[in-house]
Amino acid sequence: MLAPEAAHRLTVRALAMGLGPRDRGPEDPILESSVWGRRFPNPVGIAAGFDKNAEAYRALLRLGFGFAEIGSVTPRPQAGNPKPRLFRLTEDRAVINRMGFNNDGIDAVARRLSNRGHLPGPLGVNLGKNKDSADAAADYVRGVQALARYADYLVINVSSPNTPGLRALQGREPLTALIEAVKAARAEACPTAPPPLLVKIAPDLQPEDKTDIAAVALASGIDGLIVSNTTLARPASLRGADRGEAGGLSGAPLFEPSTRLLAEMYRLTQGRLPLVGVGGIASGADAYAKIRAGASLVQLYSALVFEGPGLVQRIKRELAQSLRRDGFSSLSQAVGAAAR
């Protein structure tokens, strides 16, 4: 079996070369929705981290995802943390990573996105900061200046556990200042049609952090939150041999804590902001639980490692069945149904 990072790189290259499978069937109309004035053919997206460098987003959309998110992208190319830095916990259906924002930088990504053309689903661009940058806000501003014009939505990633000091930006004052700087850059880069701006948050938050983030989100006029990134927690139930490795844990063990946080943020933001639910989705039932907890859209990544690309079609099929079983005629009707 290939090492995890080598397997991932090979998969991205194959997809970029057009070697991946295609979902040629029509989308179920019950899964379609409009968020931020953009049409999503279905609510199931590929999370940031899979296609860091905008090499395979077209192939991922052809695979059946309703939207794709590339990145995280930093201003300067960055090698990331020393290898090995990606670990499968097969017994736990989980992954630990400490990649460290390894990516080709905004200039290379901008070149790849410059000919993006029409896509069958929205494309998100996830922005990060360089590890050695003293001015985090300046890094995010540079990302917006270079990439906002190609994005259907932008994400400020302030929640990766693998860049020192990054999660400190989730505090009320630094987050407010960062959002204002990014919003100003967005207005300058895209004065007529600025892309929606989201913030991706960590699952490892104290109660006051959650309250502060919700207050800042509502006061600052951002367009949504992504809930959540990977966790530093290590549940006692983990069995994988690499469970003690440093980094962020994703996959099945993240499902329950991230879904609880999603419902909390839905209530704290009074259902006024679209939320993207991420963490441990491996079935239509999981996606449905996220939507009922408050997610307008959902994303997955880790489950693909264990289930393969057929998982996307299965999730969509099961999700549509769940919506109809419970009497919903549209996806939007189910959003937040269990959190109200």
Per-residue pLDDT tens digits for 187-238: 999 999 999 999 999 999 999 999 999 999 999 999 999 999 999 999 999 9
As a whole number, mean pLDDT of residues 121-139 equals 97
Amino acid 250: pLDDT:
98
Taking the complete model, does pTM exceed 0.85, yes or no?
Answer: yes
Closest alpha carbon to 297 in 315, 275, 281: 275
Which residues on neighbouring strands pair with residue 46, listed in sequence order? 68, 300
Q: Residue 200 gets which letter from DSSP?
A: E
Per-residue pLDDT tens digits for 285-331: 999 999 999 999 999 999 999 999 999 999 999 999 999 999 999 99
Write down the domain spans for the chain.
Answer: 4-21+28-331
Contact yes or no for 100/77 (Cβ under 8 A): no
Q: Which residue positions form the known binding site?
A: 48-52, 72, 97-101, 126, 157, 162, 200, 228-230, 251, 280, 301-302
As a whole number, mean pLDDT of residues 177-189 equals 98
Cα separation, 225 vs 321, in Å, equals 27
Residue 340 has pLDDT above 80, yes or no: no
Contacts 24+ apart (CB under 8 A), 23-31: 23/62, 23/63, 23/64, 23/312, 23/313, 25/313, 27/66, 27/316, 28/316, 28/317, 28/320, 30/320, 30/323, 30/324, 30/328, 30/329, 30/330, 30/331, 31/66, 31/316, 31/319, 31/320, 31/323, 31/331
Which residue carries 């460290």 as its tokens? 100
Q: Which residue positions form the known binding site for FMN?
A: 48-52, 72, 126, 157, 200, 228, 251, 280, 301-302
Which CATH fold would you assign to the domain 4-21+28-331? TIM Barrel (3.20.20)
Q: Which residue positions form the known binding site for substrate?
A: 52, 97-101, 157, 162, 229-230
As a whole number, mean pLDDT of residues 270-290 equals 98
The full DSSP string for 120-161 is SS-EEEEE---TT-S-HHHHHHHHHHHHGGG-SEEEEE---T
Closest alpha carbon to 144 in 73, 49, 80, 46: 73
**Which token pair is 251?**
């996959």
Average per-residue pLDDT in the chain? 97
Strands 94-97, 86-89: pairing is antiparallel
Catalytic positions, written as ranges: 160
The full DSSP string for 210-253 is HHHHHHHHHHHT--EEEE---B----TT---TTTT-SSEEEEGG
